């Protein structure tokens, strides 16, 4: 992959991403989409026209059957490059956003999660136990620094939350034990707790972790039709906490949601609240 056309805009893209306070995850995603567009047309991304980009989005939708979220991310990457690196403003109607249909995320039981964890490498187990035990996004877990783990107060400092907003969340005993085992074995030089092998100052990439977690689940539970990713662990954290009696406001703070409306989605993933309710038609017959 990425062998036909070289991508020569790393420095410019990173500069514009950093100037806007966007995350390294955004840089990696934008760069990946821009390189794929360039490879598809076998020419420098600078030479790809808006009309060609539109055809590429149709290709992703109709041939590759990519999700609306992927289409919109690809669109955002192309628009960002055109406007902020080439100084070429594109009206929004040229590459319209794809309508996103919100679906409830899949969840699995704690037992199934721990079964999968026991089949992972120690490093992956440590990272994903933070996702489940603390409700972190995979990007947030990978960005954790050594000093962010407070074992005395049993909390984690999330320094790179969505929207650039830091927060604290809980630290589980299970995750702490995994982290201690990982520390003893790997001794990361810091500050990144999960650094790349080649660059110890940068956190490791999420791509391989996502695939490994998903593939391991499918192997262990071949009859399941659920789409399981590291983000599933965040949804499980939320629903399992609700089932144990946590209130929505506390959960909102732990997850770092700007609006409690986002948090309330997880109510639909648990039967606990529904079991306590009686339909008004049944009340009238009592």
Number of structural domains found in the chain: 2
167 & 236 share domain = yes
178 & 230 share domain = yes
Task: Report the alpha-carbon distance of residue 91 to residue 51 in Å, rounded.
Answer: 12
The domain in which residue 132 lies consists of: 110-273
- State pLDDT tens for residues 90-140: 888 889 898 877 677 889 999 999 999 999 999 999 999 999 999 999 989
Cβ(144)–Cβ(131) under 8 Å?
no
Q: Is the pLDDT score of 200 beyond 80?
A: no
pLDDT at site 281: 73
263 & 142 share domain = yes
Cβ(128)–Cβ(122) under 8 Å?
no
Domain-embedded: residue 121: yes
3-state secondary structure (DSSP) of residue 198: coil
281 alpha-carbon distance from chain centroid: 42
Among 18-22, 132-136, 150-154, 231-235, name the one with the lowest average pLDDT.
18-22
Domain-embedded: residue 105: no
Domain-embedded: residue 283: no
pLDDT at site 4: 67
Mean pLDDT of 188-192: 84
Active site residue 285: no
3-state secondary structure (DSSP) of residue 120: coil
267 & 128 share domain = yes
Domain-embedded: residue 64: yes
Active site residue 234: yes
Active site residue 266: yes
Domain-embedded: residue 101: no
Under the banding of pLDDT at 50, 70 and 90, the label for residue 231 is very high
Higher pLDDT, 162 or 29: 29
35, 75, 125, 137: which is the annotated catalytic residue? Answer: 137
162, 167, 186, 218: which is the annotated catalytic residue? Answer: 162
Up-side HSE of residue 63: CA atoms within 13 Å toward CB? 6
- State pLDDT tens for residues 31-89: 999 999 999 999 999 999 999 999 999 999 999 999 898 999 999 999 999 999 999 99
Domain-embedded: residue 242: yes
17 & 59 share domain = yes
pLDDT at site 134: 96
150 & 269 share domain = yes
Average pLDDT for the chain = 89
pLDDT at site 267: 82
Domain-embedded: residue 184: yes
pLDDT at site 182: 95
**CATH number for position 214:** 1.10.443.10
31, 33, 125, 257: which is the annotated catalytic residue? Answer: 257
Under the banding of pLDDT at 50, 70 and 90, the label for residue 285 is low
116 alpha-carbon distance from chain centroid: 19
54 & 195 share domain = no
Considering the chain, what percentage of its residues have pLDDT values greater than 90?
62
Of the three residues 46, 66, 84, the one that is the final residue of a domain is 84
Q: Encoding tokens for residue 178?
A: 């995994």
135 & 234 share domain = yes
35, 75, 234, 240: which is the annotated catalytic residue? Answer: 234
Other CB atoms within 10 A of residue 104 CB: 10
- State pLDDT tens for residues 41-51: 999 999 999 99
Cβ(79)–Cβ(89) under 8 Å?
no
Stretch (H or E) spanning 157: strand 155-158
131 & 64 share domain = no
Among 81-90, 171-180, 268-277, name the one with the lowest average pLDDT.
268-277
- State pLDDT tens for residues 135-171: 999 989 998 999 999 999 999 999 877 777 889 999 9
60 & 129 share domain = no
Q: Encoding tokens for residue 159?
A: 């320094």
**CATH number for position 46:** 1.10.150
167 & 211 share domain = yes
Active site residue 137: yes
55 & 154 share domain = no
Q: Is the pLDDT score of 2 beyond 60?
A: no
Domain-embedded: residue 50: yes
């Amino acid at each position: 992959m990425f062998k036909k056309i070289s991508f020569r805009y790393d420095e410019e893209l990173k500069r514009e991403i950093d100037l806007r306070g966007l995350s390294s995850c955004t840089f990696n995603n934008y760069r990946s989409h821009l390189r794929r567009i360039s490879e598809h047309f076998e020419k420098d991304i600078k030479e790809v026209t808006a009309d060609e980009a539109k055809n590429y989005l149709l290709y992703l939708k109709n041939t590759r059957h990519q999700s609306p979220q992927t289409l919109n991310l690809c669109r955002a990457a192309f628009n960002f490059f055109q406007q902020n690196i080439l100084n070429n403003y594109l009206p929004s109607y040229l590459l319209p956003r794809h309508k996103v249909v919100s679906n409830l995320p899949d969840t699995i039981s704690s037992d199934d999660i721990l079964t999968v964890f026991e089949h992972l490498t120690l490093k992956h187990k440590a990272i994903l136990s933070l996702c489940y035990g603390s409700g972190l996004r995979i990007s947030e877990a990978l960005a954790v620094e050594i000093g962010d783990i407070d074992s005395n107060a049993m909390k984690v400092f999330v320094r790179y939350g969505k929207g650039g907003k830091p927060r604290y969340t809980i630290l589980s005993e299970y995750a702490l034990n995994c982290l201690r085992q990982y520390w003893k074995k790997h001794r990361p030089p810091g500050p990144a707790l999960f650094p790349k092998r080649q660059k110890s100052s940068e956190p490791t990439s999420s791509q391989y972790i996502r695939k490994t977690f998903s593939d391991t689940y499918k192997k262990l539970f071949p009859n399941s039709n659920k789409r399981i990713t590291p983000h599933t662990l965040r949804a499980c954290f939320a629903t399992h906490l609700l089932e144990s009696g946590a209130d929505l406001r506390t959960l909102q703070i732990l997850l770092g949601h700007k609006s409690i409306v986002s948090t309330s989605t997880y109510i639909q993933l648990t039967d606990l609240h529904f079991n306590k309710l009686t339909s008004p038609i049944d009340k009238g017959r009592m």
